Each structure stands twice: as C-alpha cells, then as structure tokens.
A and B are shown apart, each in its own frame.
Chain A
Amino acid sequence: MIYDFNDYNFHVWLVLLITVALISLNLIVPKIRLNKINKLKKIDKN
C-alpha cells in the first residue's frame, strides 16, 4: 500500500492526479460544448 508518503510514492500520486485531470477534461469539454449549442437552440426556438 502507498499510504506512507515517501519520494517514490510521490511519483505515483502525481501520475494519478494527472490521469484524473485528463479523464475529467475529456468528459467536461464535450459536455460544455453540447450545453452551449443546446442553449443556442433554445434561444433560436424562442
């Protein structure tokens, strides 16, 4: 287990952080793009 935070564990935590950030980015960006387009569609309808 890697609860004790030594130098090498820091490397693992850093990679874990980058992984979570990149996956989140890949999911959030298209969601925001689609929401913007749907908002435009609503304005257009009204």
Chain B
Amino acid sequence: MNKTFSNLKTFYHKLGSSPWFYKISGITIPYVALFSFLFLSIGIVWGVFFSPTDFKQGDVYRIIYMHVPAASVSQAIYYTMTVAAVVSMIWRMKMAGIFIKSMAPIGASFTFLALISGSIWGQPTWGTWWIWDARLTSTLVLFIFYIAIISLYSSFSEKKSADQAVSILTLVGAVNLPIIKKSVDWWNTLHQPASIKFTESSSISPEMLYPLIISIFGFYLVVLLSGLMAMRAEIAKREINKEWFKNY
C-alpha cells in the first residue's frame, strides 16, 4: 500500500516536468493512435451500419453513436480541467496550466458536436432543432465556458497570469457540471434521462448497447490522443528557448 502511494507520488511529481512529459507522450502517441482508431471505427461502423433499426425512431436513432460519446467526453474533459485548475491554483504547477490551455479547444469541439448532433437528432424526433430545455441550455452554458476560457487565455501575454486567471474561470464553470448531470431529473425536460446506468440495468437493448460502449471508449481514446498532441505542441511553444528542447 505504502509502495503504491509512493509510486503514485513519484508519478505525480514527474507529471509536473515538461521534458519528461514531452518524451513520454512522444512514445505513447502511436499506441494511443492505433487503439483509438480501432475502437472508434469498430464502435461507429457497428453502430451506424450493423446495429438493428429502432422500432420507433427508425434509422435516425443511430446518431446516438456519435451524440452520447461526444456529450460524455465534453463533460469529462471539463472535470479533468477542474482538477487541473485546483492543482494550478494550489501548487502553481506549470503543466496544469498547459493542460487547461490544451484541453479547452478539444472540450469546446466535442461540446459543439454534442449540441449540433442533438439538434440534428431533435429535428425529426422532437419536431424542433432547438428548445430551451434544461439539459440543452446547461450544455450550451458549458460550451460558452469553454469559449470564455479560450478567449481569456488569449487575452494575456504573460503565461503565468493567464494560467491563474483561466484556473479561476474553470473553477467557476465547474458549478455547471452537476447541473448538466441532474438537469433531466430536477426539471421536466424534453431530453430523455440516461439510458446507460451503472447501478441498475440499462434501458437500451444489448445489440445497440455494445457498439455504443465501444464508441464511447473510442471517443475517450481520441480525446487522450488529441490531448497529448495538443500538450506537446504547447510545451514546444513555451519551451522553445530552453536547452533541453533545443537538444531533444
């Protein structure tokens, strides 16, 4: 137990080192790329082309294989950014700032995908592209927070100040996360409650559920891959004049 804790502590300290992260991410990226391509293509191809047609919605329900994973990762990215914001504020760790700066555009793009795919799905099933429903509105607020973080960061010329300001804004935005999660329970919404449940049986047929789980896993791997790539680019930008980077 003590050894595990000690190893975790060492790993945490190593994460704070940009040369170490740059080197390790360079080694892991090809493997992550391979697995993300594998899971994403299996999940989406299985779901979109081979899963059974829904008896009520017909084929349009297949948007689920892109919409649900995108919505899931868009919130997960913000959760991780919140942890990084706490680390950045308490320990002033440079890598935490780099993480927030790199992940915000990725989070924004997946939130945009969740909103746009939901809208395209809503048109034939709800009869409207958009409604000021609690789930949709809180997800739109999440998207606005991502954009605000990106804009705030670019308004600073000094990186340290930018990291601190962005960390505060990220923490403010974290209030929205439980609201998104609970919006379908707290208010009467047009959006359905969660179909995949961990504590009880899911309300979705296994033939449709398996490709969905694989697709969700694929999306998480793609986020990991794009996150690693974006962080490497940000480290390179910030450390271009450092001796270790010149000799790498």
Which residues of A pack against B, CB within 8 Å? 1-3, 6-9, 11-12, 14-16, 18-19, 22-23, 25-27, 29-31, 33-34, 37-38, 40-41, 44-45
Contacts and interface: CB of A to CB of B under 8 A. Distances in A.
B48 interface: yes
The prevalent SS among residues of A at the interface is helix
A6 B245 CA distance: 54
Interface in B105-125: 105-106, 109-110, 112-113, 116-117, 120-121, 123-124
Nearest to A3: B49
B109 A37 contact: no
Interface hub of A14, A18, A29, A37 (most chain B Cβ within 10 A): A37
Contacts of B237: 33, 37
A30 B230 contact: yes
Given A26-B106, A27-B225, A41-B240, A34 B66 contact: no
A26 B108 CA distance: 11
A9 B63 CA distance: 10
A8 B122 CA distance: 11
B60 interface: yes
Given A15-B121, A34-B229, A41-B246, A8 B113 contact: no
A28 to B, nearest CB: 9
B156 to A, nearest CB: 19
A29 B109 CA distance: 12
Interface of B: 40, 44, 48-50, 58-60, 62-63, 66-67, 70, 102, 105-106, 109-110, 112-113, 116-117, 120-121, 123-124, 222, 225-226, 229-230, 232-233, 236-237, 240, 245-246
Contacts of A14: 120
Contacts of B245: 41
A8 B225 CA distance: 32
A7 B225 CA distance: 34
B113 A22 contact: yes
Given A1-B49, A15-B67, 9 more contacts: A8-B59, A11-B120, A11-B124, A15-B63, A19-B117, A26-B230, A30-B226, A30-B232, A37-B240
Given A12-B48, A37-B237, A22 B117 contact: no
Given A22-B110, A37-B237, A16 B44 contact: yes
B63 A12 contact: yes
A30 B225 CA distance: 11
A26 to B, nearest CB: 4
B232 A22 contact: no
Contacts of B63: 11-12, 15
